[in-house]
């Protein structure tokens, strides 16, 4: 069969579309998907920020108001507030990025890759700039107070778990996602002749 | 842009260019449920893209870009989460199949396109819909010369396949 004949076969579907669209169901679905996606993102963003702020408030209340605060107490609260601020800035930046739409498929892929890279950086930074400083400050504070060994173990376990979850998210979710997008990008721009059909 | 205007444009595009969207859906999704799901996903992205449309390109070029990009991403997501797809049992299916006589040769063409990788499928759709290399380049963001070589390869592949079908007396 020649290519022109294939094109004729292809064009037959222009006059008689294969489907009819149930517009009411489509609009309902679009509305519900939009709401679901926005709700999930908001729960994720505001949930993490609420944890940061509530923890900071509780810690302030327990350490600063009830007892004689040490420098470490102030620093722990500052770290929690800084971490929450970092999440807020990330949310604002992501919202801004969502408003812009790249003109080509390659542009869209670049956009998607940079979004994943941003998420990966966030996971990494959370370990180095949030979890680790918090651990150090809390341990320093605890060493001055002479707390029980169980408290040491409990706090160490909680932080190890946080670091592991962030690491897992980085290695198992974000990294493969980025690699797949990059592979797709490579495939799109690959010079031909390298891979036979 | 007001939501009313966006809705009006969306309805108009859907009415005028539904055949284009169906082609993309049929190329990337192979069961009725998947086609319904992909069509909904593409519709959402088309809806979202309306405020960004600056009339610098034709509507068909724009729609192909949005639809193909969504389909490729959807395809990757589906490969990873075969069981994780959202079920839409609570709503009626968006796509309702029209009664049409079976077009075996068109089915064969779709089957052959489905065997190509996801990027070549996009190129094949654009090629069969008569897009110029320049417009394909606008949609995909790769050079015209690169497209030219790829298209040549796909054409040759499809013609070879059709010869094989003929030689088997089908």
Which tokens belong to A28? 């309902």
Query: For residue B94, which of B16, B29, B41 has the smallest C-alpha distance?
Result: B41
Give A94-101's long-range contacts (Cβ < 8 A, gap of 24+): A94/A118, A100/B52, A101/B48, A101/B49, A101/B52
The per-residue pLDDT for range A122-159, each reduced to its tens digit, is: 778 878 887 888 888 888 878 877 778 888 888 888 88
The list of chain A residues with pLDDT below 70 reads 64-67, 98-103, 191-197
Helix/strand/coil for A21? strand
Could you tell me which of B69, B84, B59 has the C-alpha nearest to residue B141?
A: B69
State the pLDDT at residue B78: 66
Q: Which of B14, B140, B159 sits opposite A21 (nearest CB)?
A: B14
Q: What is the pLDDT of residue B90?
A: 44
- Nearest CA to A104 out of B97, B21, B22, B135 is that of B135
Residue for token pair 């944890």: A51
Q: Residue A14: its chain B contacts at CB < 8 A?
A: 19
- Between CA A101 and CA A99 the distance in angstroms is 7
Please, are residues B28 and B71 in contact by the beta-carbon 8 Å criterion? Answer: yes
Residue A190 DSSP one-character state: P
pLDDT the model gives residue B168: 56
Q: Tokens 């408290």 correspond to what residue?
A: A151
No. of H helices and E strands in chain A?
A: 7, 1
Question: How much is the ipTM here?
Answer: 0.81
Contact residues on chain B for A112, CB-CB shorter than 8 A? 73
Angle at the Cα of A86 (from A85 to A90), degrees rounded to 5? 115
Q: DSSP labels for B65-128?
A: HHHHHHHHHHHHHHHH-SS-PPP-TTS--SEEE------HHHHHHHHHHHTS-HHHHHHHHHHH
Instruction: Find the CB nearest A17 among B22, B149, B153.
Output: B22
A2 touches B at CB < 8 Å: yes
What tens digit of pLDDT does each residue of B74-90 get?
Answer: 887 766 555 444 444 44
Q: What is the pLDDT of residue B88?
A: 42
| Interface contacts (A, B; CB < 8 Å) | 138
For chain B, which ranges sit under pLDDT 70? 78-92, 99-102, 166-170
- Of A6, A12, A19, nearest to B95 by CB-CB distance is A19
DSSP class of residue A16 equals: S
Chain-chain contact of B98 with A13 (C-beta, under 8 angstroms): no
**A48, A87 contact by CB (below 8 A):** yes
């Amino acid at each position: 069969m020649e290519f022109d004949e294939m094109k004729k076969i292809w064009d037959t579907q222009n006059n008689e579309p294969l489907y009819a669209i149930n517009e009411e169901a489509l609009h309902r679905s679009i509305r519900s998907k939009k709401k679901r996606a926005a709700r999930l993102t908001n729960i994720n963003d505001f949930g993490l920020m609420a944890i940061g702020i509530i923890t900071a408030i509780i810690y302030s209340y327990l350490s600063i108001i009830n007892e004689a605060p040490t420098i470490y107490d102030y620093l722990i609260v500052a770290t929690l507030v800084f971490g929450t601020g970092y999440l807020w800035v990330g949310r604002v930046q992501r919202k801004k990025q969502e408003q812009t739409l790249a003109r080509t498929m390659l542009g869209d892929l670049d956009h998607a890759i940079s979004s994943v890279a941003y998420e990966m950086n966030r996971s990494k930074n959370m370990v180095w700039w949030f979890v680790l400083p918090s651990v150090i400050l809390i341990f320093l504070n605890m060493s001055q107070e002479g707390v029980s060994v169980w408290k040491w173990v409990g706090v160490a376990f909680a932080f190890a778990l946080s670091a592991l979850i962030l690491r897992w998210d980085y290695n198992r979710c974000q990294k493969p996602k980025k690699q797949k997008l990059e592979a797709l990008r490579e495939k799109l721009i690959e010079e031909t002749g390298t891979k036979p059909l | 842009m007001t939501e009313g205007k966006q809705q009006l444009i969306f309805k108009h595009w859907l009415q005028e260019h539904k055949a284009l969207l169906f082609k993309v859906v049929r190329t990337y999704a192979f069961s009725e449920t998947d086609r319904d799901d992909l069509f909904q996903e593409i519709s959402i992205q088309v809806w979202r893209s309306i405020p960004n449309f600056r009339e610098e390109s034709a509507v068909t070029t724009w729609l192909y870009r949005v639809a193909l990009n969504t389909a490729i991403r959807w395809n990757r997501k589906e490969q990873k989460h075969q069981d994780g797809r959202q079920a839409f049992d609570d709503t009626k299916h968006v796509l309702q199949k029209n009664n049409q006589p079976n077009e075996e040769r068109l089915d064969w063409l779709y089957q052959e396109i489905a065997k190509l990788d996801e990027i070549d499928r996009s190129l094949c759709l654009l090629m069969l819909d008569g897009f110029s290399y320049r417009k394909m380049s606008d949609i995909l963001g790769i050079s015209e010369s690169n497209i030219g070589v790829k298209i040549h390869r796909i054409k040759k592949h499809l013609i070879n396949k059709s010869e094989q079908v003929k030689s088997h007396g089908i």
